[in-house]
Structure 1
Amino acid sequence: MTIRCLICNSSVVLSQEETQAIALLIGLLDGFLKGIQGAPSATPGGAVASPLGHTVSMMVEGISGATSNWADTQAFIREHRKFHFMGYDHLCLRCGALFDDSPDVESPLDG
């Protein structure tokens, strides 16, 4: 069943869980990329002694960066819930309405 906005009947509605998943993904990617950028680069001549070893080293640094970024990502998610959802379950991206799941209310388009 597609969740529709109670105000404008739009189907462009995000739940808290969906936004949390998006924020986690972005936070992990941000930490991973920061970790890779901080990884030691190739030798001064530009040659890599072991390409596989260098790649694994970059991946380890990226994973380390992602884990170190975890606390910041969790803090962002808490603030997002508090200030964007304000205790509600859903946010309409069209009109900005906030509302909870209501199993008793059926959308006019659903049946």
Structure 2
Amino acid sequence: MPPFDATFAALSDATRRGVLEQLGREGASITQLAEKFHMTLTGMKKHVVVLERAGLVTTEKVGRVRTCKLGLRRLEEEAAWIEAYRRLWDARFNALDNVVEELKRREKVDE
């Protein structure tokens, strides 16, 4: 799966976004995350695996406890990709605004 696909797939789920927010504040065990999000341990493990594959989360097992923290991967490439489309759409909406304003001016002249 290409990196963008893995990232956007990981971010497409509200629980996984919530896990990232939680881990942004402090690391947590999978058990703590499961409790916080009212999920089974198995369900949370699946979410963590998706986040790990995208490079957004890392885990470390110490004894019987698997601790999660934010991964080293940042989202600059994805943010740049989104920003390029934001600029494209801004330009299109600005052009549409200009057309609407021109039509309003013509309408007033025709009255």
Fold-level similarity (TM above 0.5): no
Q: When you count helix as a share of all residues, which structure comes out higher? A: 2
Q: When you count strand as a share of all residues, which structure comes out higher? A: 2
Structure with the greater alpha carbon radius of gyration: 2
TM score, norm. by length of structure 1: 0.29
TM score, norm. by length of structure 2: 0.29
